[in-house]
Amino acid sequence: MQFPPWTSIDDAARLLHDGEVVAIPTETVYGLAGNAYLPSALAQIFAIKERPTFDPLIVHICEISQLADIAENIPDVAYALAKAYWPGPMTMILPKKECIPDLCTSGLPSVAVRFPSHPVAQEIIWKAGVPLAAPSANLFKHVSPTTAEHVAAQLADRGLAGIVDGGPCNVGVESTIVSLVGEPTVLRPGAITPEMIAKVIGDVKVKESTSKPGQAMAAPGQCDTHYRPQVPLFYGEIPEGFELPKNCVRIAFGNRPGVIPATLNLSESGNMLEATAKLYAYMHDLDDPKYDLILVDPIPNVGVGMALNDRLKRASIKIIDSNR
C-alpha cells in the first residue's frame, strides 16, 4: 500500500460498500467513513480513532428521501429543516430504524443523520450505495482535520483503507446537531445557528452540554475536554499577573490588542465565517512542541461564534500554568 493511502472516489466507494474504512472530505471536517449497516465497519472506526463506544456516530446520506431508510416516526419539522438546510452542515437526531446497528448509536433508540453538501462526499455515498457513518477523521479528542494532510498525519498508519483528498473544508467546524426527539433542542452549535433553525420550526432550546463519562451521549462532541491540540491552548482573558512562557504564540481575532503580537489572525475584519473556516487549520499549524502555550483571543458568543466558543472552551486548558 502506498503511504499515505490516497484513494480515488470510485475505489473509496467500493471499499466502503465492502466494509472497509476510508477518510472522506465534507464541508465541515474530514470524516472517517464506514458502511453504517455493518457493525464490523463501525468497530473499525471506533478502533482507528480510539473513540469510546459511548460516543455515537453520525450517519451520512446523499438524498433527503434516504432519511426514511435510517429513521422512523419522522416529524414534519425534520422535513422542513431538511428542505431549508440540506445539503449542509446540520445533523438531526431522530428515532432510528432497526437496520441501524446499536453500535452506531451507542445503544440509544435515536440516530444522528446528515446530508453533507461537499460534492465528493455526495458522490462517494451515492456510488457506495449505502449510508456512511463518519465521525471526524482524527484521534479521539484531538483537533479535527480540515485537509487530507491533517488526516494522514494522525491516521495514515492506523489501518484505514484510504484517504480521499477533496481539498480544504470550507466550513471548518463540525455540524450543528439538533435533536428532534421530544422538544427541539440544539445539542451542538455549528454553522447553522439556533436563530436559523428557529426561523423554520419556531422556538428551539439550546442545551449547555456536559459529558457523563462512560454513559451513552445523546450526540457526538459532548465531552468537556475535546478538539484539543497537544500543545496547551488557553482561550480567553489572561489572568492578571500571569507570566507568559517564553515560547508562546497567539491566534488573534479582529484588531484586538493582545498580550503578545498576533502569530495568526482568524479574521482581521472580525468575520465569523472566515474565522470558523480557519480555526482548526491554525490549531494544527501551531501544534508544535517548540511552543509552550497557544493563546486564543475571545470571540463574541453570537451566531456562528457560538460554535467557535463551544470548540475552544473544550480545547482549552482550565488552569493556566507557567511552570510547564
Residues 6 or more apart whose Cβ sits within 8 Å of residue 174: 28, 29, 89, 136, 144, 188, 190, 220, 221, 311
Q: Which residue range is the domain that position 188 belongs to? A: 9-206
CA–CA separation, 281 and 267 (whole Å) = 13
Q: Average pLDDT, stretch 302-321?
A: 86
| Single residue among 170, 188, 206 that ends a domain in this structure | 206
- Greatest alpha-carbon pair distance for the chain in Å reads 59
Q: How many residues does the chain have?
A: 324
Task: Give how many domains the chain has, as a whole number.
Answer: 2
- Structure confidence by residue, pLDDT tens digits, 88-102: 999 999 999 999 999
Q: Is 32 a member of any domain?
A: yes
Q: Based on the domain organization, do 145 and 245 belong to the same domain?
A: no
Q: In the chain, where do the E strands start and end?
A: 22-24, 31-35, 58-60, 90-95, 110-114, 132-133, 162-163, 176-179, 185-188, 205-206, 233-235, 248-252, 264-265, 293-296
Q: Which residue has the cell 462517494?
A: 124
Distance separating alpha carbons of residues 285 and 229, to the nearest angstrom: 10
Integer distance in angstroms from the first to the last C-alpha of the chain?
Answer: 40
- Same domain for 186 and 240, yes or no, is no
Residue 170 lies inside a defined structural domain of this protein: yes
Task: Please report, for the domain that includes residue 160, its CATH number.
Answer: 3.90.870.10
Task: Tell whether 289 is covered by a domain.
Answer: yes
Handedness of CA 194, 108, 48, 214 (dihedral sign): positive
Give the pLDDT band of residue 224 (cuts 50, 70, 90). Answer: low
**Per-residue pLDDT tens digits for 294-305:** 999 999 999 999
For 69-83, write each residue's pLDDT tens digit. Answer: 999 999 999 999 999
Pairing of strands 132-133, 185-188: unpaired
Q: What per-residue confidence (pLDDT) applies to 323?
A: 47
- Determine, yes or no, domain membership for 222: no
Together in a domain, 69 and 197: yes
The reported pLDDT for the residue numbered 225 is 59
- Asked whether the whole model's pTM tops 0.85, one would answer yes
